[in-house]
């Protein structure tokens, strides 16, 4: 098991390095000068002196390999550089906003699993029945509604029309726990509409597939009670694809809560990213993309560990 963890860890660190290098290369190898790109607005050529000054400030006049080394060196010390717009250290802003996004994504994942897994199992066990049809149709609809439509309609109905909840915003947990949770549940619930439908579908088809497997029939042939078969021989075996899919979606949510954060005015990492993209503040964009990608890699590492917990073959393999 320890060797397994160590091997996965080495691979993960390698992947983070590869992502960091890739982000660096993408920014530096695209046609056009980042400094020039940054300063040009509406097709008007920028002042050459200003461009030169910016190049100097960003170290763009150095050879590529020197830039690369100092970039990696900075990353190792947790230095992501300064934002172009206000010279603010990027890492501070990320440290402030990242936990909020993680909280949002985590809560959305939790809601999705809490609803999606049991409903998926129930639908699979009664495949073709009324319950299965109703929930499968609902999942199909949920998957077709864009997340920002769900969010906007939620705000419209719950906040504007019924005035049950605030229209969005953020309050730190320490200041007002109840209000914090209320404000968290709206965007998290909105994400969970689509994600829960995905979990439901995957769980349903996974259970159906496991039910067809020979070892379930063998357990039946031993006279094991249906409830025991479902618990011991179906659920755990059916979980692996669900873990994969949930992890994949949580990973893409790390950078994909943009829309929900925008609709509910949730000051997370994604909003920061959109602002940086709009301002073309590329050190900021690089920093955020890097953090999100590193988290993505970390998530995959955790998923591998989870596989090993679920499936003994992975541990020994």
Partner 1 sequence: MRRAKIRPLILPGVLALAIIALAVAAPILPLTDPVRQDVASRLTGPSALHWLGQDEYGRDVLSRIIWGARVSLSVAFAAAAAAAVAGTLLGLLGGYFRGVVELLTVRASEIVLCFPPLLLALLVVTLLGPGAATLVLSLAILFAPGFARVAYAETLSARALDYVTAQQALGAPTARILARTLLPNIAPPLIVQFSLTVAAAMLLESGLSFLGLGVVPPSPSWGLMIRGARSAMEQAPLLLFWPCLALTGTVLVLNLFCDRLRDALDPRGRASGKPGFLGRVLALPPAPQTPATPALLSVEGLTLQVPGPKGPVTVVRDVGFTLAPGETLAIVGESGSGKTLTGLAIMGLLPAAVRPVAGRIMLAGRDGTPRDLLRLPEPELRAMRGRDMAMIFQDPSSSLNPLLRVGAQVGESLRAHGVTDGIRDRVVTLLRQVGLPDPERAAVAYPHELSGGQRQRAMIAAAIANHPRLLLADEPTTALDVTVQAQILTLLAELKRAEGGMGMVFVTHNLAVVAEIADRVAVMYAGEVVEEGPAAEVFAAPRHPYTAALIESTPEGDAERLSAIPGAVPQPWAMPSGCRFAPRCAMAEPACTAAAPAMEETGPRRAARCRRWKEVA
Residues 145-204 that bind partner 1 (CB under 8 A): 145-149, 152-153, 155-156, 160-161
Q: How far is the CB of 77 from partner 1 (least distance, A)?
A: 25
Least distance from partner 1 to the Cβ atom of residue 189, Å: 18
Task: State the Cα–Cα distance between residues 221 and 227, nearest whole angstrom.
Answer: 15
292 binds partner 1 (CB under 8 A): yes
Which residues 256-285 are close enough to bind partner 1 by CB under 8 A?
Answer: 256, 258-259, 262-263, 273-274, 276-278, 280, 282, 285
Binder among 140, 169, 172, 177 for partner 1 (CB under 8 A): 140
By beta-carbon proximity to partner 1, the closer residue of 19 and 180 is: 19
Work out whether 63 is an interface residue with partner 1 (CB under 8 A).
no
The terminus-to-terminus CA distance of the chain in angstroms comes to 10
Using alpha carbons, list the distances in angstroms from residue 151 to 158, 301, 312. Answer: 10, 31, 41
Among 254, 250, 245, 243, residue whose Cα is nearest residue 306: 243
The span of 3-11, 46-54, 61-69, 293-301 binding partner 1 (CB under 8 A) equals 293-301
Burial class (CB in 10 A: 0-12, 13-18, 19+), 140: exposed
- Residue 192 or 289 with smaller CB distance to partner 1: 289
CB of 217 to partner 1, least distance (A): 6
Residues 89-118 interacting with partner 1 (rule: CB under 8 A): none
Site for partner 1 in 215-244 (CB under 8 A): 215, 217-226, 228, 230, 232-233, 236-237
Please name which of 268, 112, 114, 252 lies closest in space to residue 183, comparing C-alpha atoms: 268
How many C-beta atoms lie closer than 10 Å to residue 303's C-beta? 19
- Phi, psi at residue 169, to the nearest 5°? 120, -170
Residue 253 interacts with partner 1 (CB under 8 A)? yes
How far is Cα 55 from Cα 57, in angstroms, rounded to an integer?
5
Using rule CB under 8 A, residue 125 touches partner 1: yes
**What is the closest distance, in whole angstroms, from the C-beta atom of residue 223 to partner 1 in the complex?**
3
**CA atoms of 50 and 31, how far apart (whole Å):** 20
């Amino acid at each position: 098991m320890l060797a397994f963890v160590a091997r996965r860890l080495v691979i993960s660190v390698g992947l983070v390095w590869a992502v960091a290098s890739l982000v660096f290369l993408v920014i530096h190898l695209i046609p056009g000068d980042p400094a020039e790109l940054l300063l040009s607005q509406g097709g008007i050529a920028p002042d050459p002196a200003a461009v030169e000054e910016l190049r100097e400030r960003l170290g763009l006049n150095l050879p590529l390999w020197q830039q690369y080394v100092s970039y990696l060196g900075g990353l190792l010390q947790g230095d992501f550089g300064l934002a172009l717009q206000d010279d603010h250290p990027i890492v501070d802003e990320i440290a402030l906003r990242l936990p909020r996004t993680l909280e949002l994504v985590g809560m959305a994942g939790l809601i999705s699993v809490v609803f999606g897994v049991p409903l998926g199992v129930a639908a699979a066990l009664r495949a073709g029945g009324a319950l299965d049809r109703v929930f499968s149709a609902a999942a199909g609809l949920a998957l077709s509604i864009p997340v920002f439509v769900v969010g906007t309609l939620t705000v419209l109905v719950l906040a504007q029309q019924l005035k049950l909840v605030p229209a969005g915003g953020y309050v730190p947990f320490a200041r007002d726990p109840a209000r914090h949770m209320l404000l968290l549940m709206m965007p998290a619930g909105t994400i969970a509409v689509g994600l829960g439908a995905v979990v439901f579908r995957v769980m349903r088809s996974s259970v159906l597939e496991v039910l067809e497997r020979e070892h379930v029939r063998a357990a039946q042939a031993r006279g094991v009670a249906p409830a025991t078969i479902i618990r011991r021989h179906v659920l755990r075996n059916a979980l692996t694809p669900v873990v994969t899919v949930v992890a994949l979606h949580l990973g893409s949510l790390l950078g994909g809560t943009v829309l929900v954060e925008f609709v509910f005015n949730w000051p997370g990492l994604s909003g920061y990213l959109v602002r940086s993209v709009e301002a073309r503040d590329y050190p900021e964009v690089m920093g955020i993309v890097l953090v999100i990608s590193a988290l993505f890699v970390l998530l995959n590492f955790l998923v591998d560990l989870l596989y090993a917990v679920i499936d003994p073959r992975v541990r020994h393999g």
